[in-house]
Amino acid sequence: MAQRIVTATRVIPAPAEAIFNLLADPRAHTRIDGSGSVLEPKEAPARLSLGATFTMDMKLGVSYFTKNKVVAFEENRVIAWHHFAHFVWRYELEPVDGGTKVTESFDYSKPWGLLLLPQHIPAKNQASMERTLARIEEILTTPEPTA
């Protein structure tokens, strides 16, 4: 079976550590989500780690929740998780001139991927991932307002 993976890549002018810390904080996922579907953590540790689980309240037309498990975790380099269908959301960070190259991927290559996902979803996910990477950049490069 052919791999079905959607990716988006962006060089973000920020250190890998700052980006990774944002990704490893499930409370920040609402802020960085480019799809508009992540509402808030329902149950989550303060910081993700390998094997950690976290439940997020979601909304795509209707409200629902997903329980996710962290399946890859290499400090400041890689973090990935999947939900019940084992579709994997993965972030890979690589220091480069000018910042960090961040690649977000959505892997729906499980045999049931085509059954569970309508055909338009991968392209929609790619656009959402591009918005997520832009949000990460905005969060990390916009100065905090001073009082």
Give the model confidence (pLDDT) of 110-146 as tens digits: 655 455 555 556 667 789 999 999 999 999 998 877 7
Q: Above 60 in pLDDT, residue 88?
A: yes
pTM for this predicted structure: 0.87
Q: How far apart are CA 91 and CA 120, in angstroms?
A: 22
**Token pair in block for residue 39:** 């509402």
List the one residue out of 146, 140, 145 whose CA is nearest residue 12.
140
Domains and CATH numbers, the chain: 5-141 (3.30.530.20)
Alpha helices per DSSP H over the chain = 16-23, 29-32, 113-116, 121-141
Contacting residues for 35 by C-beta, under 8 A, at least 6 apart: 124, 125, 128, 131, 132
* Residues composing the chain: 147
Tokens of 59: 């909304």
Specify the residue for token string 């997903």: 66
Q: State pLDDT tens for residues 47-73.
A: 999 999 998 888 878 887 889 999 999
Helices and strands in the chain, H and E counts: 4, 7
